[in-house]
Structures are given as structure tokens and as C-alpha cells.
Chains A and B, each alone.
Chain A
Amino acid sequence: MGGKAAMLLVLGFSLIFLVFGNNFNSLTSRAVKNEASYYNETMAHNIAIAGANMVANAVFMDKAWDDGYFKLPYQGGILNVYITNPSGYNSKVTICHKPGTRAEHTISAPPSIKDTLLNNGDYLGDCRGTSMDPNLVLIYAEGIFPDPDKCPPFITPDTSVVYVKLQPSSFAKYGNFYDRMHAIPATGDTFDGYFHVNNTMKTWGHPVFLDKVTSKGGLVMYNTKNPEFQKGYTSGIDVKRPWDTTNFRKLGLNGGAVIRDTTKSGKRVDVEMEFKSDGTVKYRYRIFDGSPTWTPYKIQPLSDLTSNGVIYIERGNLYVKGTVRGQATIVVTKNNKSGCGRIFQTDDLKYNTDPTKDPSSNDMLGLVAEGNIRLVYNDDTKHHDIITQASLFSKNGSVGPDNRLVSNDGYLASWKILGGIIAHDVRVTAHYNSVGPYEGYKFVHKFDRRFLTRVPPHFPHAKNYEVVSWYE
């Protein structure tokens, strides 16, 4: 009897312990499963991020790189990165990857892995309703963790996707860009748009920078040492300005306009150009071939003169004014010929539709000179407020008024610029006393914010790409 009772007691307690133990084990295993699930997700995500960074870096180092990675073992998982690069080395096939899922995306893949992808449900061509932007580099990075070939069958690997869009970094996105600065931003100066110096950044007192500021060298502050960087300052950023006239010439010859010495003896060419608010351009030119005479004026629609927007003036100078209706980038080169490569603004140069009043305005102008860009001293400019609406790019010179306009016969006027100034050096626009400018031109600059997403046609861009969109 006593033995039976003891047995029942032992069995009863064992049953209770088993029930409790099972419950605790269940709680523990669910907690571990939860943790493992989050860990797998995080690892897959980190692998995808690493892949996107690796490829973005490869494209940054070599803008035509487009190898990608396929089934690359990484951190216990697998990494696939598909890259679409318009200037890439390799031939690729366009595939709709993972159709019908949230990760659905159009990718470019090497032909060697086409069958593998198609066997997994992908199909050839763009995904429905989408098309790839031919101007962008697209990176599709896929992290899979754990490695499906190595994990037990009861574990389903997690997949995480990152896709990144990169575009050539246009100089039009800068409000101010200088290779060096002989004049120092000082108290009373306000700078709109991105500001970059490929040198030491110097400030005097309390200048205000409304947008992000970057420089190659460090920051040196004078006087009260109180610059106001409203969107931050970062040093150590080197942005080179390549100068490739071959491409401009090619664009000019293929859909654009080319004005140069037609005798092909490399003579200087001066061009006068007036934009009209009806969308036409009135222009003439003269070739310095010993007896330079102006050709008769020619008037034609801007879109007829250049269908791709590029007007290329080789070994010449440009005198420009007017009201721009449409889009154009005028490139003026020096090509080692002295007295060439300059742009002179002779009167107001503005858009037909003012983008500050109507941001949907499609009027855009880029002025690109190998030398200086100058405001000319004449009856239309002296003693008058002047408007310049364009992004101004001077490769080796500066952007500013003529010497006589810096004094302006003792008058103080305003130079209202809407756009950007990208130049080798800074040029003064006025003479100052202890109060501020008293003669010349007050510099009233506003950045054209359309240039953050749209730029004048074929405006110069940096050698490298920049990330414009990152999905993770």
C-alpha cells in the first residue's frame, strides 16, 4: 500500500514537473525563435547594405564598373548585387526580378545567370508599368541569411533588399563652388544653395550659409569666428572639376549647334546672342581672320538652333543678353588661344517664366566658359540693377563685373543672380567701407532650387556619381 502511494506521488510530481517543464521549454524556444528571426532579418539586411555599399564604392572608383556579384558568400549568408550602369563595360539582359513580390524590380543581369533567374520565376524585360531611367546607375542588392545551401531544411532563410539610384553629380546643384577663395565670406554675406570650396574654407565674422557647406581643407575663422552654417559644414571633401571639351563638341555636332572658325584655321570667333521671349535667338558672329566683320543677324527658334540644348562656341567669346524661353547650355572654349573662352553679359539675362514665381518654369540656361564670365560696362549695365538668371560655370576664371563696374562711377546698384556660380576663384563685385558696399554691385544671390533635380542640358558634372535615392 505504502509503496503504491509512493509511486503515485512520484508519478504525480513527475507529471506536474513535465507540464511545467514543457511550458517553460515552449516559452524559451519561442523566445529563441523570436530572437533568431530578428537576428536573421538583421543579418540579411546588413548583408544587403554591405553589398550596396561595396558596389556603390566600386562605381565611385570606376564609373563604368558594372560587374555586380552573384552568390557571393558573405558573413554566413549570400550576397547578390545586380547593377545597371549606362556607361558599363558588360552586355546585360533586362530582367524583371521577383515579380509579384514587394521586392519586384527591373534589373540588369549578366547573360550567364539569366537562366538561373528565369528558373526562379523572373521574366525577361522590364517589370510591368516600369522602365529604367537610362541616365541613372541602379544598384539592386539582395542579402540572404543564412546561406540556403548550408542551413537545415526547417529554417527558411531571410531575404532583404536594398536598391540605390545614382546619377552624375551636376555642378548646377551648387549655389557657390570655388576652387579657391581670395575674397572671404564675411559679416553681412548670405549664401544660398550648396557651397563648396576645393581649398581651405575661410570666414570673417558672421556670414550666413543657408545650405550645406563643404570644403576640401579645414575651416579657418577670423574676427568673431562665428559663421552660421544653417545646414552644417563638412570638411575633407574634394570635388574635382573635369574639363572635357570633346564631349561638348560632340554634342554640338550631334543635335546641338557649333560656332567656330569655318576655315578650320583656329581663328577666334566672337558671338553676339540675344534671347527673345518668343523662344527665338537673334545672333551673329565674326571670325578674326584678319578683317573681322560681323555676319548679318540671324533669328531662329532656340529649339531649331539646338535640339539637344548645347551651343558650342570654339575658341571664341560670347556676348549675351535677353529673355530665355526654353533650355540651353552655351559652352565657350579657349582651347589654348589667348583672348578666348570668355562670356560677357551685356544686359539683363532672365527667364521668360520666372521660376521664383512659377517653379514649374522650364526655362533654363547654363553659361559655361573656359575663362572669365563678366558683366560688361556699357550704357545698359552701368548705374543699373542687373539680373542674371542662369547657372554660371567658369573653368579657369571668375564670375563678376568688369573692373569699371566694380566702382560703377560711384554708384551702388544690385546684381540679382538666380542660379549658381561655379568658378575657379571669387571676384569682388563692389568697393566696401566700414558700413558695407558703397559703389559697384551689391551681390544679391538666390539659388535656383530647380537645379537640385533638373539642370540645364548637359551642364558639366563631376566625374563621379552621387546617391539620389536609397531604399532599404
Chain B
Amino acid sequence: MGFSTLIDILGSTLIGGMLLLILLRLNDAGVQNNYTYGGELIVQQNLVDLVTLIEHDFRKIGYCADWKKLPDPTKYILEADSNSITFLTDVDSDGEVDTVHYYTGHTSELDNTPNPRDKLLYRVVNNSLPRGSNLGVTQFELVYYDDSGTKLLTPVTNPTKIMTMEINIKVEDVYGYDTSNPNKDDSEMYATAFWKQIRLVARNLNNR
């Protein structure tokens, strides 16, 4: 075995080692990116589903197929706080007035997920049992305005003054990448999506 052969072996070992390192790093980066992008997709889908439902419900505040059952258009919102609202509507357009209550649960209800901020968003129709699915909601904030555009303090003591509202929703991935690693800052690990309705005007609210 000559000197040149030795150089070949050393060189190939070096190049092979470098390729192996690249491969390992590539694998690591690929898995992380795959996880992160997958998480972002899930977050985006969750947000769209959530927003679609909220838009569907909130646009119908004060709607009833039999409009005479909701005679006073100022009394459709029963309770309004920064992260909860109760209003009258007709969920299934059957002409019967329903009460819908949106509110967020406490983060302690979801201790089994790595994300420390996620909480359940509950949607309760009439007197049904509160149910919520974990879509990764970390912020559900409602801001209310009166007819002159003045922000109302929450909880709103007189909901009849509400003319428009702002809705802020933040959804995060409930399982971020490598979240069990205690040496990392968990807050940077979760894919996040935010949606804001600057002014939602429920058409039936104060419509006449």
C-alpha cells in the first residue's frame, strides 16, 4: 500500500465523513422543517375553520327566521366581555330563538399539551353541555364599540350600546417541534397564525 493509497483512504474518509455529517444535519433540518411547516399548515387550517364558524355565528347575531320573535334590535347581545360573549340568534334557521355563548376555558384544562398558552374555545348553544375542541386557540379577544366608535370598557355593563366589534384570534400549534427539550425557549417553537376582524357589524343589530 503506497502513500497515494493512504492519501486516497484518508481523503475518502474525510469526504465521506463530511457527507455523513451533512446527511445527519440534513436529516435533522428536514425533520424540523417538515414538522414546523406541517404545524403551520395545521395552524392555518384550524384558524380558517375557526374563523369560518365565528363569522357564520357572529354575522347572525340577532337573526331569526321568524323576525317577529326578536322585536327589539338593541337587545340581541346579552353579555359581552373581553373573551366571552352571549347573544341571541337562530342557529338552524328554524324560526326559534337560540342563545349562543362563546368563551375560552383556562389554560390548565390543557395541561397535557406542551403549549402552555393553548385553551379551549367553547361554543354553547342554549343549555347544551359546554364542548370545545383544541384548535390551539391562545387568544380570543373581543373589543366592543358604540355608535360613535368609542371603545366600551369590558365587561360591557350595557350591551345595548354595542354597535360594532373587533375580533382578535391567535392560534398556535399545540405540539411545537422539540418542545420537550428543556434547554430551549418553548415560546419560539410554536407555529402561530393570527386573524383580526377590524369591525364586525352584525346587520341585525340596531337595524331599525
Question: A222 on the interface (CB 8 Å rule)?
Answer: no
Q: Are B48 and A38 in contact (CB under 8 A)?
A: yes
Q: Are B146 and A232 in contact (CB under 8 A)?
A: yes
CA distance A159 to B48 in the complex (A): 17
Of the residues B33, B34, B71, contact of A452 by C-beta under 8 Å: B71
Question: B109 on the interface (CB 8 Å rule)?
Answer: no
Q: Are B206 and A212 in contact (CB under 8 A)?
A: yes
Question: A231 on the interface (CB 8 Å rule)?
Answer: yes
Q: Are B72 and A449 in contact (CB under 8 A)?
A: yes
Q: Are B44 and A231 in contact (CB under 8 A)?
A: no
Q: Taking CB as reference atom, which chain B residue is nearest A169? A: B208
Question: B63 on the interface (CB 8 Å rule)?
Answer: yes
Q: List, in ascending order, chain B residues with CB within 8 A of A31's CB.
A: 40-41, 44
CA distance A232 to B74 in the complex (A): 10
Q: Are B44 and A472 in contact (CB under 8 A)?
A: no
Interface residues on A, range: 35 or more
CA distance A345 to B5 in the complex (A): 124
How far in angstroms is the closest Cβ of chain B from A92?
22
Q: Are A470 and B26 in contact (CB under 8 A)?
A: no
CA distance A230 to B72 in the complex (A): 14
Q: List, in ascending order, chain B residues with CB within 8 A of A469's CB.
A: 63-65, 67, 204
Question: Contacts A24-B34, A27-B38 given: A452-B72 contact, CB under 8 Å?
Answer: yes
Q: Are B163 and A232 in contact (CB under 8 A)?
A: yes
How far in angstroms is the closest Cβ of chain B from A196?
12
CA distance A469 to B62 in the complex (A): 8
CA distance A34 to B42 in the complex (A): 10
CA distance A231 to B74 in the complex (A): 7
Question: Contacts A467-B203, A467-B207 given: A9-B41 contact, CB under 8 Å?
Answer: no
Number of B residues whose C-beta is below 8 Å from A? 38
Q: Are B45 and A34 in contact (CB under 8 A)?
A: yes
0/1 interface trace, chain A 421-459, chain B, CB 8 Å (1 if under)? 000000000000000000000000000010011100000
How far in angstroms is the closest Cβ of chain A from B92?
10
Most buried by B among A37, A466, A471: A471
Q: Which of B48-70 contact A (CB under 8 A)?
A: 48, 51-52, 59-60, 63-65, 67-68
Of the residues A23, A232, A470, contact of B34 by C-beta under 8 Å: A23
Question: B147 on the interface (CB 8 Å rule)?
Answer: yes
Question: B158 on the interface (CB 8 Å rule)?
Answer: yes
Question: B160 on the interface (CB 8 Å rule)?
Answer: yes
How far in angstroms is the closest Cβ of chain B from A10?
11
Question: A173 on the interface (CB 8 Å rule)?
Answer: yes
How far in angstroms is the closest Cβ of chain B from A233?
7
Q: Are A16 and B26 in contact (CB under 8 A)?
A: yes
Q: Are B41 and A34 in contact (CB under 8 A)?
A: yes
Question: A35 on the interface (CB 8 Å rule)?
Answer: yes
Question: A151 on the interface (CB 8 Å rule)?
Answer: no
0/1 interface trace, chain B 4-22, chain A, CB 8 Å (1 if under)? 0000000000000001000
Q: List, in ascending order, chain B residues with CB within 8 A of A231's CB.
A: 74, 160-161, 206
Q: Are B67 and A165 in contact (CB under 8 A)?
A: yes
CA distance A337 to B135 in the complex (A): 74
Q: Taking CB as reference atom, which chain B residue is nearest A31? A: B41
Question: Contacts A211-B74, A212-B206 given: A470-B63 contact, CB under 8 Å?
Answer: yes
Q: List, in ascending order, chain A residues with CB within 8 A of B60's CB.
A: 471-472
Q: Which B residues lie at the A interface, using CB under 8 A?
A: 19, 23, 26, 30, 33-34, 37-38, 40-41, 44-45, 48, 51-52, 59-60, 63-65, 67-68, 71-72, 74, 93, 146-148, 158, 160-161, 163, 203-204, 206-208
The contact sample of 21 A-B pairs, CB cut-off 8 A, is A16-B23, A16-B26, A24-B37, A27-B41, A169-B208, A173-B208, A230-B158, A231-B74, A231-B161, A231-B206, A232-B148, A232-B160, A232-B161, A232-B163, A234-B147, A468-B67, A469-B65, A470-B203, A470-B204, A471-B65, A472-B59
For the complex with contacts A38-B52, A231-B160, 9 further pairs of A-B residues with Cβ separation under 8 Å are A31-B40, A34-B41, A212-B74, A232-B163, A453-B67, A453-B71, A470-B204, A470-B207, A471-B63
